[in-house]
Amino acid sequence: MFRGFSFVPPDTKVDFVGMRGISFFVSALMMVLSLVALQTYGLNYGIDFEGGTLIEISTKSQEADLAELRSSLNALDIGEVQIQRFGAPNDVLIRIQEQGTEKAQAASVEKVKGVLGDTVDYRRVETVGPTVSSELIYMGTIAVVVAMLAILVYVWLRFEWQFAVAAIAALTHDVVGAIGLFCILQLEFNLAALAAILTIIGYSLNDTVVVFDRIRENLRKYRKLPMADLIDLAINETLSRTLLTHFTTFLAVLALYLWGGKVIENFNIAMLFGIIVGAYSSIFVAAPLLLILGMRRDWGASSTTKRPKSGMPASV
For residue 173, what pLDDT band results from cuts at 50, 70 and 90? very high
Please state, in angstroms and as integers, the Cα–Cα distance from residue 201 to each residue in 54, 244, 285, 309, following that order: 29, 19, 14, 46
- Of 119, 132, 114, residue with least CA distance to 78: 114
User: Residue 148: what pLDDT?
Assistant: 82
User: Residue 130: what pLDDT?
Assistant: 58
Report all structural domains of the chain as residue ranges with CATH numbers, in order of start: 17-43+133-300 (1.20.1640.10), 52-128 (3.30.70.3400)
Distance spanning both ends of the chain, measured CA to CA: 44
Report the interhelical angle of 161-185 vs 130-158 (nearest 10°): 150
The distance of Cα 183 from the centroid of its chain, to the nearest Å, equals 13
Specify whether the CB–CB gap between 163 and 156 falls below 8 A: yes
The stretch 181-193 carries a mean pLDDT of 88
Q: Is residue 311 pLDDT above 50, yes or no?
A: no
Quick count: other Cβ atoms within 10 Å of Cβ 31?
A: 17
Q: Say how far apart CA 120 and CA 59 lie, in whole Å.
A: 4
For residue 177, what pLDDT band results from cuts at 50, 70 and 90? very high
For residue 109, what pLDDT band results from cuts at 50, 70 and 90? confident
Between 80 and 258, name the one with better pLDDT: 258
- Provide the mean pLDDT of the chain: 80
For residue 28, what pLDDT band results from cuts at 50, 70 and 90? very high
CB-based contacts of 300: which residues, under 8 Å, 6+ apart? 215, 216, 218, 219, 220
Specify whether the CB–CB gap between 191 and 47 falls below 8 A: no
**Amino acid identity at 249:** T
Q: Is residue 97 pLDDT above 80, yes or no?
A: no
Please state, in angstroms and as integers, the Cα–Cα distance from residue 234 to each residue in 122, 198, 205, 209, following that order: 55, 27, 16, 12
CA dihedral for 149, 153, 154, 156, sign (positive or negative): positive
The distance of Cα 258 from the centroid of its chain, to the nearest Å, equals 19
The H-assigned helical ranges of the chain are 20-40, 47-50, 66-74, 102-116, 130-158, 161-185, 191-221, 227-237, 239-259, 265-281, 287-293, 297-302
pTM of whole model > 0.85?
no
CB-based contacts of 39: which residues, under 8 Å, 6+ apart? none
Q: Say how far apart CA 18 and CA 26 lie, in whole Å.
A: 14
Nearest-5° angle of CA 239, CA 242, CA 248?
A: 135
- Of 158, 192, 168, residue with least CA distance to 45: 192
> Is beta strand 188-189 parallel, antiparallel or unpaired with respect to 44-45?
parallel
Q: Is residue 301 pLDDT above 60, yes or no?
A: no
CB-based contacts of 206: which residues, under 8 Å, 6+ apart? none
For residue 305, what pLDDT band results from cuts at 50, 70 and 90? very low
The stretch 183-208 carries a mean pLDDT of 86
Q: Is residue 309 pLDDT above 60, yes or no?
A: no
**Amino acid identity at 230:** L
The total number of residues written for the chain in this structure:
316
Q: Say how far apart CA 131 and CA 80 lie, in whole Å.
A: 19
